[in-house]
Amino acid sequence: DSGVTQTPKHLITATGQRVTLRCSPRSGDLSVYWYQQSLDQGLQFLIQYYNGEERAKGNILERFSAQQFPDLHSELNLSSLELGDSALYFCASSVGVGKYNSPLHFGNGTRLTVT
């Protein structure tokens, strides 16, 4: 068990809808990362937060947004969903900036299906 909790595990929704994915990082971890993994694809980095502040942005669409709250949990909001947004969305956490010896600890992912 990585200690990173993602909810929900599965999400099925229709095109054009909006969904929110939730992540609770491992206890003591200040950094949260979001990744998208489409079927048989690698990991696409979306965005990173550290202690409530956005630290890095990857290939995140404008329809997607995220935030990290004071209790360090994070939410990824996906809106105007398209079929191509169907993927496994991972949240991962790490101790924080500067402690680069710390690995990423991944949650089990949220499997999003857009119909």
Partner 1 sequence: AQTVTQSQPEMSVQEAETVTLSCTYDTSESDYYLFWYKQPPSRQMILVIRQEAYKQQNATENRFSVNFQKAAKSFSLKISDSQLGDAAMYFCAYRSQSGNQFYFGTGTSLTVIP
Note the residues at the interface with partner 1 (CB under 8 A): 33, 37, 42-43, 45, 48, 50, 55-56, 88, 90, 92, 94, 96-106, 108-109
User: To the nearest whole angstrom, how small is the minimum distance from the Cβ of residue 16 to partner 1?
Assistant: 27
Nearer to partner 1, 78 or 92 (CB): 92
Q: What CA–CA distance (Å, rounded) separates 106 from 61?
A: 22
The rounded distance, in Å, linking the Cα atoms of 61 and 78 is 9
Cβ at position 33, least distance to partner 1 in Å:
7
Q: How far is the CB of 106 from partner 1 (least distance, A)?
A: 4
Residue whose structure tokens are 């680069």: 100
- Closest to partner 1 by CB, 63 vs 99, is 99
Rounded CA gap, 36 and 38, in Å?
7
Least gap, CB of 80 to partner 1 (angstroms): 26
Q: Which residue's CB is nearer to partner 1, number 44 or number 79? A: 44
Amino acid at 10: H
Q: Which is nearer to partner 1, 18 or 99 (CB)?
A: 99
Q: CA-to-CA distance for 65 and 75, rounded, in angstroms?
A: 8
User: Is residue 84 helix, strand or coil?
Assistant: helix
What are φ and ψ of residue 86, in 5° steps? -60, 125
